[in-house]
Amino acid sequence: MNTLSQADINTLISYRHALHAHPELSLEEVWTAGFIRDRLEALGIPVHEKIGGNGLVGVIEGSAPGPAVALRADMDALAISETTGLSYASKNPGKMHACGHDGHVAILIGAATLLARTRNFAGTVHLVFQPAEERFGGARLMIEDGLLERFPFERILGLHNWPDMPAGEVLLHEGPVMAGTSEFDITFRADGAHAAMPHLSGDPLLAGGHFLTGLQQAVARAVDPYEAAVATVGSFHGGHAQNIIPQSADLKGTLRAFRMETLTLLRERTRAVAAAAASIASCTVDLAFDDPICPPVANTPLERDLMRAAVRQAGLAAYRGDPRPTMAGDDFGFFLLHRPGAYAWIGNGPAVLDGRLHQPAYDFNDAIIAPGATLLARTALGALAGRT
Ligand SMILES: [Zn+2]
Ligand SMILES: [Zn+2]
């Protein structure tokens, strides 16, 4: 396989900085999609746009017919005000590439550069640029919009930059990589009353308090201790004065686990705890889950080995540290409901600006664009050739 020249790398870095300066939120990636389309077309790659919103697919045909493989990058940003002070910092107030998806796009354009230059392979590589990873399940939106029928690939591969690992080192988990997620919204309601006359109304704040603690007992008592699970209430709003029992309290939270069965169980327990909390505090309750559950990301063995082989062939270092997965989620799991695949983590190195994922000082490391691009391109070639 050919390699990226220093001029190629400089170009990809300039793309990354342009993307970083123009972050767009989930479902709003219009500028980003246009930027990607123009770069792919300049490489001679036909592009199919508006798949599942702002998603796009570039198709690289090899020099002979053969199987098909997909490489995926996400492209959306977060509602965070950037504090890096970088020359290419966000120009869009309140929006920021704080998860490194700007880097993922640059990496996939880099892989496209390598693959399109020679086309010295049999088969097809589909470049899947996915919108709305951070919110709204863009992977699912692309699938519902016919991704798998229009671009029939046998397996899908992707990666995420990871700040707790040395720069350029690659981790391929044995199985689970990232958790499945299920978000919920709850409102407890009652008539409201004078704070000194609690017998005249139910108490939504009391219900919320019982729910908050009861939910933790669901994790501790309903889930097998050998299963990882998390339930977090991230928002609890209700009331505005010392002397009034309010008419409502709103809570929002998330459930995380590595197996769909565990998430389903936690949903059942969340319903039961919410009903019990409402009953204790004489309230009514409305509980809504964001549907569907975002499935866990777990590597399938063959695809994991394909990526591990590519790590060796590319001369990259395999991460030797703690290989535990994360309870953070990624909607790559929707692709894995339909196709086998693998999701690598590539080390972003020590935080230059003391930033972590989803934090206002985070920055993707430009030094991992070339290794990331080489990894994806080599994995695609290995998949098409059936090498592990
Ligand atoms: Zn993220
Ligand atoms: Zn991310």
CATH number of the domain at 269, please.
Answer: 3.30.70.360
Instruction: To the nearest 10°, report the CA torsion of 37, 331, 97, 116.
Output: -30
Reported as type and span, the H/E element at residue 276 is helix 260-280
What is the predicted pLDDT for the residue at 164?
86
- Spacing, Cα 256 to ligand 1 middle (Å): 15
Tens digits of residue pLDDT in 276-334: 999 999 999 999 999 899 999 999 999 999 999 999 999 999 999 999 999 999 999 99
Establish if 294 belongs to a structural domain. no
What is the predicted pLDDT for the residue at 353?
61
Both 164 and 208 in one domain: the answer is no
Q: Which ligand is nearest to the CA of 135?
A: 1
Both 218 and 105 in one domain: the answer is no
- Spacing, Cα 221 to ligand 2 middle (Å): 31
Q: What are the φ and ψ backbone dihedral angles of 338, each rounded to 5 degrees?
A: -115, -30
Examine the fold and report which residue of 289, 311, 329 is the final residue of a domain before the chain moves on. Answer: 289
- Spacing, Cα 186 to ligand 1 middle (Å): 24
Domain enclosing residue 210, as ranges: 179-289
Neighbours of ion ligand 1 (CB under 5 A): 99
Both 185 and 152 in one domain: the answer is no
Examine the fold and report which residue of 289, 318, 334 is the final residue of a domain before the chain moves on. Answer: 289
- Measured CA to CA, the distance from residue 75 to residue 224 in angstroms comes to 36
Tens digits of residue pLDDT in 133-191: 999 999 999 999 999 999 999 999 999 999 989 999 999 999 999 999 999 999 999 99
Q: Give the chain's domain count.
A: 2
Residue ranges for the binding site for Mn(2+)? 99, 101, 134, 160, 358
Establish if 324 belongs to a structural domain. yes
Instruction: Examine the pLDDT at 94 and tell me if it is beyond 70.
Output: yes
- Do residues 78 and 358 touch, judged by C-beta distance below 8 A? yes
Establish if 122 belongs to a structural domain. yes
127 - beta bridge partners?
58, 71
Examine the fold and report which residue of 262, 289, 316 is the final residue of a domain before the chain moves on. Answer: 289
Residue 232's contacts (CB-CB under 8 Å, 6 or more residues apart) are 253, 254, 256
- Spacing, Cα 201 to ligand 1 middle (Å): 42
- Spacing, Cα 114 to ligand 1 middle (Å): 27
Distance (Å) of CA 156 to CA 48, 49, 109, 194: 18, 19, 16, 59
Both 318 and 340 in one domain: the answer is yes
Tens digits of residue pLDDT in 361-385: 999 999 999 999 999 999 999 999 9
Both 167 and 213 in one domain: the answer is no
Both 206 and 318 in one domain: the answer is no
Residue 81: pLDDT band by 50, 70, 90 thresholds? very high
Establish if 98 belongs to a structural domain. yes
Both 269 and 136 in one domain: the answer is no
Output the domain CATH number for residue 364: 3.40.630.10
Both 186 and 40 in one domain: the answer is no
Establish if 378 belongs to a structural domain. yes
Tens digits of residue pLDDT in 332-346: 999 999 999 999 999
Both 144 and 184 in one domain: the answer is no
Describe the crossing of helices 6-21 and 30-42 by its angle, rounded to 10 degrees.
160
Establish if 310 belongs to a structural domain. yes
Both 252 and 305 in one domain: the answer is no
Instruction: Examine the pLDDT at 388 and tell me if it is beyond 60.
Output: no
Instruction: Examine the pLDDT at 232 and tell me if it is beyond 80.
Output: yes
Both 16 and 123 in one domain: the answer is yes
Q: What is the CA radius of gyration of the chain?
A: 23
pLDDT more than 70, % of the chain:
98
- Spacing, Cα 104 to ligand 2 middle (Å): 9
Both 71 and 130 in one domain: the answer is yes
